[in-house]
């Protein structure tokens, strides 16, 4: 990877790098407006279960001769349900080192690397991410730099925060739907139902064993926080909340995440997601949390963005998903 002075890329060193990579990613999230701080243990679980990514070939750490590790690059590829082949690049940096010359060099080198993997593939494209002011607004920073490299936004994702856990509405599940405490034997069926709920979405690809294992191994998983709706033996809705104590201590707040939300395709628009989310907020409050957060695709066809704002979540930041044809 050819980078401008004073930067150089070195090989990824496995778990030994995860603490510094988590630190970099946390700073990058703060810069982007999401505030989330992943832990080294989370990266342990993620990188032990990578899909279509060779750690020795597809991950590098970027160092400055003055500040040591300041960023990293990971690339991978995904075969989507619609026949598109996405070659994805992810390159978080410490905010003090986010500058166009380094950014352009990283993107160009990652593209060269991925272009080799994409040889012979039709409907292939690069995919990347950048914080963005929002749909219809003029891009700045990394978003503007991507657009200068011929990337175009294809989706927008939003980070939302409910600043308090007061006045949570009382919402009921339909009469034929029940919520049950989660036991360990339910975890795999719940994860499978969540994946299936997104079949037909723009970025859907078939799940792998690594995908499921990564979720199971996540150190922040606490099934006692999960709110799962059932009809007989079928999972029809879910909210799988978690609490990151390390992040809360670092950021000085008491936040829980109401994330990994989905509804069975045949049970949408019946109030299931709203009822489960309201119950999840009450659960977080009972655990001592004072706020909640989540992320959402603003183009979700089920109107998730509107549901969440109706339930008291407030917009904090946008991230654009960018794509560029591989020619």
Q: Could you read off the pLDDT of 120-157 as tens digits, one per residue?
A: 999 999 999 999 999 999 999 999 999 999 999 999 99
Q: Is the per-residue pLDDT at 301 higher than 80?
A: no
Q: Which pLDDT belongs to residue 12? A: 98
Domain locations along the chain: 7-156+321-325, 162-318
The model's pTM is 0.94
Q: Which pLDDT belongs to residue 49? A: 97
CB-based burial, 269-278: b 16+ in 10 Å, e otherwise: ebbbbbbbbb
Q: Is the per-residue pLDDT at 217 higher than 80?
A: yes
Query: Please, are residues 140 and 133 in contact by the beta-carbon 8 Å criterion?
Result: yes
Structure tokens at 248: 């809360």
**CA distances (Å), origin 72, targets 172, 292, 311:** 45, 29, 37
Mapped onto helix, strand or coil, the DSSP state of residue 272 is: helix
**CA distances (Å), origin 205, targets 50, 85, 118, 119, 208:** 15, 10, 17, 20, 9
**For the chain, what is the radius of gyration of the CA atoms?**
20
Query: What is d(CA 129, CA 89) in angstroms, rounded to the nearest whole number?
Result: 8
CATH, domain range 7-156+321-325? 3.40.630.30
Q: Hey, which bits of the chain come out as E strands? A: 7-11, 59-64, 68-79, 85-90, 124-132, 152-162, 178-179, 227-231, 234-239, 242-243, 255-257, 262-263, 291-297, 314-325
Cβ neighbours, 10 Å, residue 304: 20
Domains 7-156+321-325 and 162-318 belong to one CATH topology: yes
Strands 68-79, 59-64: pairing kind? antiparallel
**pLDDT, tens digit (0-9, with 9 covering 90-100), for 44-72:** 999 999 999 999 999 999 999 999 999 99
pLDDT-derived band at 302, boundaries 50, 70, 90: confident
CATH, domain range 162-318? 3.40.630.30
pLDDT-derived band at 303, boundaries 50, 70, 90: confident
């Amino acid at each position: 990877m050819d980078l401008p002075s004073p930067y150089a890329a070195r090989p990824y060193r496995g778990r030994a790098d995860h603490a510094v990579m988590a630190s970099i990613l946390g700073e990058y999230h703060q810069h982007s407006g999401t505030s989330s701080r992943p832990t080294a243990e989370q990266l342990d679980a993620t990188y032990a279960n990578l899909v279509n990514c060779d750690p020795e070939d597809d991950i590098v750490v970027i160092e400055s001769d003055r500040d040591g590790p300041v960023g990293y690059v990971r690339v991978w590829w995904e075969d989507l349900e619609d026949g598109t082949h996405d070659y994805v690049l992810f390159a978080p940096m410490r905010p003090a080192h986010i500058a166009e010359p380094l950014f352009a060099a990283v993107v160009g080198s990652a593209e060269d690397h991925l272009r080799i993997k994409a040889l012979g593939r039709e409907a292939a494209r690069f995919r990347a991410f950048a914080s963005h002011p929002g749909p219809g607004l003029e891009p700045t920073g990394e978003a503007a730099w991507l657009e200068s490299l011929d990337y175009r936004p294809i989706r927008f994702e939003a980070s939302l925060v409910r600043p308090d856990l007061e006045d949570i509405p009382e919402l009921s599940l339909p009469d034929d739907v029940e919520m049950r405490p989660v036991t360990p034997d339910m975890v795999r069926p719940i994860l499978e139902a969540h994946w299936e709920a997104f079949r037909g979405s723009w970025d859907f690809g078939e799940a792998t064993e690594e995908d499921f294992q990564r979720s199971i191994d996540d150190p922040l998983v606490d099934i006692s926080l999960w709110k799962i709706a059932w009809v007989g033996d079928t999972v029809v809705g879910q909210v799988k909340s978690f609490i990151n104590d390390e992040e809360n201590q670092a950021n000085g707040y008491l936040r829980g995440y109401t994330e990994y939300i989905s509804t069975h395709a045949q049970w949408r628009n019946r109030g299931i997601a709203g009822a489960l989310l309201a119950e999840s907020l009450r659960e977080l409050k009972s655990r001592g949390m004072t706020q909640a957060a989540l992320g959402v695709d603003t183009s979700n066809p089920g109107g998730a963005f509107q549901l969440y704002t109706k339930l008291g979540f407030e917009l904090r930041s946008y991230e654009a998903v960018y794509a560029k044809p591989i020619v």
